[in-house]
Chains A and B, each alone.
Chain A
Amino acid sequence: MSLDRTRRLLRTPKSALLLIFAILLGVAGAAAGWPLGLPHVLAAVIGACTAELLAGVLLRRRPSWPTSALLSGTIVAFVLAPETPHLVTAFVGVLATASKYLLATSRGHIFNPAAFALLLSIPLFSTGQSWWGAGGDMAWPFLVLVMAGGALVVDRINKFPLVLAFTAMYFGTFTLVSLYEPGAVAEMFRAPFTQAAIFLALYMLTDPPTSPARYIDQVWVGALAAVTACAGQLLGAGQAYLLLGVLVGNAALAVHRSVRTASARPRLNKSLTA
Chain B
Amino acid sequence: MARKMPRRLVALSSSAIAAIYFAGFVATRSADAGIPVGSTDGSTNTVESTATPAATTTSVPNVSPYRDGTYSGTGTSRRGNVTVSLTVASGKISNVSITSVTTEYPVARIAALPGQVVSRQSGQVDNVSGATYSAQAFRLAVQAALATASA
> Which A residues are within 8 Å of any B CB, using their own CB?
32, 81, 83, 122, 126-132, 136-137, 155, 158, 160-161, 164, 167-168, 171-172, 174-175, 178-179, 182-194, 196, 213-215, 236, 238-239
Contact = CB atoms under 8 A, between A and B. Distances in A.
Contacts, number: 121
Given A136-B106, A168-B20, A187-B132, A214 B2 contact: yes
Contacts of A83: 107
Contacts of A178: 24, 27-28, 31
B14 A189 contact: no
Contacts of B13: 164, 168
B24 A171 contact: yes
A238 B88 CA distance: 32
B21 A171 contact: yes
Nearest to A214: B2
A175 B132 contact: no
Contacts of A238: 78-80, 102-104
A32 to B, nearest CB: 8
Contacts of A214: 2
Nearest to B100: A126
Contacts of B79: 238-239
A238 B10 CA distance: 32
A192 B10 contact: no
Interface string B38-64: 000000011010000000000000000
Contacts of B151: none
A189 B25 contact: yes
A183 B102 contact: no
Contacts of B100: 126, 128
Interface string B90-107: 000000000011111111
A196 B27 contact: no
21 contacts: A126-B100, A128-B80, A158-B5, A164-B10, A164-B13, A171-B17, A175-B21, A175-B24, A178-B24, A178-B27, A182-B28, A183-B35, A186-B29, A190-B32, A191-B130, A192-B104, A192-B105, A196-B104, A213-B1, A238-B102, A239-B104
Contacts of B14: 164
Contacts of A179: 27
Interface size, B (range): 35 or more
B120 interface: no
B2 A189 contact: no
A194 B25 CA distance: 10
Contacts of A129: 104
A160 B32 contact: no
Contact of A81 (B17, B23, B101): B101
Interface string B1-19: 1101100001001101100
B106 to A, nearest CB: 4
Of all A-B residue pairs in the complex, the 5 with the closest CB atoms, nearest first, are: A183-B46, A175-B24, A186-B28, A182-B31, A130-B106
B28 A239 contact: no
A181 to B, nearest CB: 9
Nearest to A168: B17
Nearest to B46: A183
Contacts of B45: 183
Given A137-B109, A190-B32, A127 B24 contact: no
Nearest to B5: A160
Contacts of A236: 48, 78
A188 B13 CA distance: 20
Given A136-B106, A175-B27, A193-B104, A213 B2 contact: yes
Interface string B64-103: 0000000000000011100000000000000000001111
Contacts of B130: 187, 190-192
Nearest to A236: B78
